[in-house]
Amino acid sequence: MTTASFAGYSNKWRIEVSERARNDGILLFRFTPKGEDDFQIEVPIAEGISENSVAHQIRSTFRKHLSRDKFTVEVDDGEDVLVKRKRGSPVFDLDILEDTVKGTRINLDKE
């Protein structure tokens, strides 16, 4: 299990995905809107899917958990996911709490 520390709030985060998944696993994210309770988003990943498919799975799962009135989630360059707040919505922090997917690397960048 990998635990990330508090990275700070931002209005936009990029989730960079590299490499194919070598096993079934999960990516467990912590989403913390400023001034609100944090919550977890668990993304199931299937063995053998490409980095682009991992990015699409992250996007689809985040869209199920985040209010479309407050946030947008989109795939960028095929293998990156952008999570952005909409005007008037809180800035937010994003961490990876757990990553059990072998082969696939996830990098989080504030933008």
- Report pLDDT digits (tens) over 61-87: 999 999 999 999 999 999 999 999 999
pTM (predicted TM-score):
0.92
Mean pLDDT for 96-101 is 97
Which position has the higher pLDDT, 54 or 5? 54
Contacts 24+ apart (CB under 8 A), 66-73: 66/31, 70/33
Domain ranges within the chain, ordered by starting residue: 12-110
Tell me the pLDDT band of 1, cut-offs 50, 70 and 90: very low
How far, in Å, CA of 94 to CA of 7, rounded?
Answer: 8
Residue 4 predicted with pLDDT over 60: no
Q: Domain 12-110 falls in which CATH fold?
A: Immunoglobulin-like (2.60.40)
The CA-atom distances, in angstroms, between 72 and each of 20, 27, 86 are 25, 20, 7
Token pair in block for residue 11: 């209005």
- The predicted pLDDT at position 43 comes to 98
- The predicted pLDDT at position 6 comes to 56
Q: Is there a contact between 79 and 51 (Cβ–Cβ < 8 Å)?
A: yes
Neighbours of 28 (CB within 10 A): 17
Mean pLDDT for 28-54 is 97
- Burial label, 9 (beta-carbon count in 10 A; 0-12, 13-18, 19+): middle
Average pLDDT across the chain, whole number: 94
